Amino acid sequence: MRGKVYLVGAGPGDPELLTLRAYRVLQEAQVVLYDRLVSPDVLELVNPKAHRIYVGKTRGTQTQAQEKILSLLLAYARSNQQVVRLKGGDPMVYGRGAEEWAFLAQHQIEVEVVPGVSSALAAPALAGIPLTLRGVAHSFAVVSGQIAGGLYPSLERVAQAETLVILMGVERRVELAHALIRLGRKPEEPVAFVERSTTPHERIIVSTLAEVAAGGAAVEAPAVWVLGEVVAHRLPTGAKGHRAIQTLAF
Ligand code: SAH
């Protein structure tokens, strides 16, 4: 069998949210290279005979780590292995999936992408927050909160979306909240952070943009940040037992 790389989305954490294709590919894999945000429960579904390689990155080592990942993918595919490159959520959403695909294609390696359930969609949904709601919000945008150099070109472009979903936005939330208010969002607008969605440690923190700007929202990464009127229309999420919902003072 010729080597092939499957670029697979692992979803937000709960293995029940894997696609059937992802499940099958994980069962048949010979090598699995996985990221930091891939949950241990998903890893349990990997073929027990597969070689598992953790390639999660820490800040400062990213460029080097990415080169290493590319060379590992290439080496395993060239030695005729069935390789799974497993990423949290969807592999084409902030996961450098496209860069890895392009690199492998350049080297004539076959690539199959297996889309995953992105945390941008799953975390709000599971927290009972609709991204669109008739009469309330007819558009949503997803943006990264990691902004280099203090410039906000992407944020400026999407700042007016009725619902704004921010990934990787926990660390710089105070700065981002100030920027969003400057860009015209109302300080009293409701926000929610969905922390560690689908894990036993999930928390939903509801606040306002003004309060986030004032440093009042205690949140830990990874979390999906939702901003917009839809947050005020949050639906009951049922008795999941582990869900701690914390509402800060409005
Ligand atoms: N490809 C991924 C996103 C990678 S960027 C996807 O489609 O989901 C990493 C960011 O995703 C984190 O900073 C956080 O904002 C979000 N994220 C990923 N998994 C999450 C989870 N289980 N709960 C909350 N946020 C999550």
230 and 124, same domain (yes or no): yes
84 and 187, same domain (yes or no): no
pLDDT at position 217 is 86
CA 64, 65, 71 angle in degrees (round to 5)? Answer: 95
84 and 183, same domain (yes or no): no
Tokens of 174: 């105070």
CA 11, 33, 167 angle in degrees (round to 5)? Answer: 40
99 and 131, same domain (yes or no): no
149 and 219, same domain (yes or no): yes
Q: What is the pLDDT of residues 190-199, one digit of tens each?
A: 999 999 999 9
User: Could you say which of 4, 14, 41, 57 is catalytic?
Assistant: 57
pLDDT at position 228 is 98
Q: What is the pLDDT of residues 111-160, one digit of tens each?
A: 999 999 999 999 999 999 999 999 999 999 999 998 655 557 889 999 99
pLDDT at 11 over 80: yes
pLDDT at 9 over 60: yes
Tell whether ligand 1 has an atom less than 6 A from the beta carbon of residue 204.
no
User: Could you say which of 4, 14, 35, 87 is catalytic?
Assistant: 35
What is the rounded average pLDDT of the residues 25-38? Answer: 97
Of 98, 114, 130, the residue that ends a domain is: 114
14 and 106, same domain (yes or no): yes
Q: Are 56 and 35 in contact (CB under 8 A)?
A: yes
pLDDT at position 60 is 65
What is the rounded average pLDDT of the residues 165-185? Answer: 95
Q: How far is CA 31 from the centre of its chain?
A: 23
CA of 16 to the centre of ligand 1 (A): 17
196 and 129, same domain (yes or no): yes
Tell whether ligand 1 has an atom less than 6 A from the beta carbon of residue 222.
yes
51 and 140, same domain (yes or no): no
Of 85, 114, 143, the residue that ends a domain is: 114
CA of 122 to the centre of ligand 1 (A): 10
109 and 146, same domain (yes or no): no
Q: In this structure, which residue's CA is closest to atom 4 in ligand 1?
A: 94
136 and 243, same domain (yes or no): yes
Instruction: Read off the pTM.
Output: 0.93
Tokens of 248: 């800060």
| Cα 200 to Cα 106, 179, 184, 221, distances in angstroms | 41, 33, 36, 15
DSSP 8-class letter at 94: S
What is the rounded average pLDDT of the residues 66-95? Answer: 97
Mean pLDDT score of the chain, rounded to an integer? 92
Decide if 41 is catalytic: no
pLDDT at position 146 is 86
pLDDT at position 118 is 98
pLDDT at position 205 is 97
Tell whether ligand 1 has an atom less than 6 A from the beta carbon of residue 119.
yes
With 0-12 / 13-18 / 19 or more C-beta atoms within 10 angstroms meaning exposed / middle / buried, residue 246 is: middle
Tokens of 82: 């069935």
High-pLDDT (> 70) share of the chain, %: 92
Tell whether ligand 1 has an atom less than 6 A from the beta carbon of residue 194.
yes
139 and 100, same domain (yes or no): no
What is the rounded average pLDDT of the residues 36-59? Answer: 93
Of 114, 130, 161, the residue that ends a domain is: 114
Length of the chain: 250
Q: In this structure, which residue's CA is closest to atom 18 in ligand 1?
A: 119
Give the CATH number for residue 81: 3.40.1010.10
107 and 125, same domain (yes or no): no
Domain with 92, as residue range(s), is 4-114
In testing the pocket of ligand 1, which one of 94, 119, 126, 173 has its CB within 8 Å of the most ligand atoms? 119
